[in-house]
Structure 1
């Protein structure tokens, strides 16, 4: 039954990847027998490993296995095999799932401080993301944010920079007001779109294909990588670079599971995660460029929202900062914004 559901999921979200394959994850199966592992790390993600920020789970799996001489097996389960993100977040807190590559838009449902990365025009470029990750003081505060829930944010990867895909061209903010954008089930994003006074529909990702085809929505708030890989550009042929946030996968780990590992195994695990996540961020940066080029070759048009409209969006987002800064930590938000303003 699980395999049937997995195949149906892949056919719905990534039909071009699933066609002709009995199991859409078949090419990512381990080349070793994990049955003899002393320790197992169950790692979940809802997306497809065609995205570099997701594929990192398999690279972590293989390197951890090699570095620990087969003692620790990272059992990576992408494609929502373990459920949707809200469900898995609950399992993570309880320890039924040990780790999760959680989308940044959903991470704020676990802890308000994790909503930092969704604030508009703060960590909104690849350079700013890397600068934030490399600042030990700022990033460690982010990492430790969900400790009260028994979870540690050990690293991040990227799936690109957020903008607008639409069925009709959107060159200006005025044109954007005519579009009904689908946005994620995420508290910060809902507040952003309210502040921007844009039409939006909060919708689970599984509902998007039909809604886009039938005209229930005529726009999407997402990244070029995800939109092209999931074939949303087949219908929404226009993309507007807004670059107001980076789409991240926040690698969340159950702290109790982590603490129970022998110290040497734990050190290897965290070291591999850090190394592979850094590589994945660079791969994600290149992947966005590649996916944009591929989309352009298929007739998708790309424009950038004008500077005046971008300044308007940033000015209109003031209520979002006022609402979320106390929840995230006002001093912390100001430290991050000051550090990144020239990055």
Structure 2
């Protein structure tokens, strides 16, 4: 645990240095820092793994840790060619490539994963998998996770594990202490049908917007709030403009590790085992680091003058009650029995 804490503190210092310099490092420099310390040219098999985000996030850096451990364990037979920072395209494009087998793996954001199959949207529903503890409980319940894992199999894909990027809340330019103040904010939400249904049910103003458009929209006042996590808001410098964060903790932001099923099944059995075991080990480790990274980023933001707020319990309960239509609609798409089973077990 001491090593994990020291790692989180070191990463936080690096991130703060990067933020202070305006993230001066370009993509090529960032990737050069993660270059493998081995020559992958002699590998018998290559696993091309994509992600759109920055490896400064622990849930993304996991791709490099999987790469190195798989290389060592397979004695150089299997090379995990990890490509973050959207090197292979946006998430919808990569999902299409994954189905075709042009890309073999993907760390897909949970908001985009619903484009693969509705069942994966269960992790986006409010107040279902809404804490780090519930996330581990969900992952370690074989019955719950196996249904999640196999749900995209008809699309030729398996959801073998996940990492994260923290707990969702509201980053805003004005303080939001209650639902009345939240009603005055125009929130940017992700391009995902689950999120739109959530904000409609809550009766909030929202704008569906691609992530690259957010900085200018926030600076010009087109939006004055973000539906996101403290880690992402801190690392991407959204706190330069949005000086308040209301901790809702209504869902865990995830990167779901998707694999092309056909490619995996063609891989020799011993390499399948090495790959899947390594993904499981490193994903669990990354989830632990994510919880520490979130706390480190909150503390760094507070030191920089960002005010962290929370709704009163009765206000949060109102949001839970307003979510009922979302459970009804998405329960039919996810499977009502599965949704009810997940909610019951995680709340037990």
Q: Same fold (TM over 0.5)?
A: yes
Deviation digits for residues 242-297 of structure 1 (CA, Å, limit 9, x no counterpart): 11100000000000110110000100000000000000000001000000000000
Separation (CA, whole Å) in 2 of partners of 1:106 and 1:194: 19
**How many residues are matched?**
330
In structure 2, the residue matched to 1:41 is: 47
By how many angstroms is 1:305 displaced?
1.2
Deviation digits for residues 6-61 of structure 1 (CA, Å, limit 9, x no counterpart): xxxxxxx9873343775221111101010110000110001100000000000000
Which of 273, 298, 317 aligns to 2:279? It is 273
In structure 2, the residue matched to 1:225 is: 231
Q: SS at the partner of 2:255?
A: strand
Structure 1, unpaired ranges of 5+: 1-12
Structure 1 residue 119 corresponds to structure 2 residue 119: no
What TM-score results when the alignment is normalised by the length of structure 1? 0.94
Which of 312, 333, 337 aligns to 2:339? It is 333
What does 1:45-84 align with in structure 2 at a 5 Å threshold?
Answer: 45-84=51-90
Q: SS at the partner of 2:30?
A: coil
Structure 1 residue 282 corresponds to structure 2 residue 288: yes
Which of 322, 325, 339 aligns to 2:328? It is 322
What does 1:137-216 align with in structure 2 at a 5 Å threshold?
Answer: 137-216=143-222
Separation (CA, whole Å) in 1 of partners of 2:346 and 2:289: 22
In structure 2, the residue matched to 1:90 is: 96
Which of 299, 320, 340 aligns to 1:293? It is 299
In structure 2, the residue matched to 1:131 is: 137
Q: SS at the partner of 1:80?
A: coil
Report if aligned partners of 2:47, 2:105 keep a CA contact under 8 Å in 1.
Answer: yes
What TM-score results when the alignment is normalised by the length of structure 2? 0.93
Structure 2, unpaired ranges of 5+: 1-17
Deviation digits for residues 126-183 of structure 1 (CA, Å, limit 9, x no counterpart): 0000000000111000000000100000001010000000001111111001001000
Q: Over aligned residue pairs, what C-alpha RMSD do you find?
A: 1.3
Separation (CA, whole Å) in 1 of partners of 2:84 and 2:31: 8
